[in-house]
Amino acid sequence: MNARAYVLLETLGGQSAAVAQALRGRPGVKLVDLVDGKPDVVMVVEAPNRKRLAEFTVAALAATENLTAGMQLLPALGAPFGKKAGRVCRSAG
């Protein structure tokens, strides 16, 4: 199984689309989405192992301008969704 991290990024005002565009296509970057509110951008990075994951993540961020200090790195633990994944919490609605 590949190592995966979810990276939540805050950008300088009005720069979310430019940051997302700069991240797309970088090695290891599998998904980049703009989101409403904070964080501004969510990036998913995958690699064959944790060392390469760290390298891909650092390289993608280093090649991107207009980021603030607001960043969260969330490494995934375990199997992808649907394959022995943990319980899913659902809100009462």
12-70 pLDDT, tens digit per residue, is 988 999 999 999 999 999 999 999 988 999 999 999 999 999 999 999 999 999 999 88
* Phi and psi based region of residue 57 (left: phi greater than 0; alpha: psi -120 to 50; beta: remaining): alpha
In this prediction the pTM is 0.78
Helix (H/G/I), strand (E/B), else coil: 16: helix
Percent of the chain with pLDDT over 70: 83
State residue 2's pLDDT score: 86
Top-level CATH class of 3-75? alpha beta
Q: Which two tokens stand for residue 83?
A: 């394959």
Rounded distance between C-alpha atoms, residue 13 and residue 63, angstroms:
19
Q: What are the start-end ranges of the H helices in the chain? A: 16-23, 50-62
User: In the chain, what are the domain boundaries?
Assistant: 3-75
Asked whether residue 86 carries a pLDDT value surpassing 60, the answer given is no
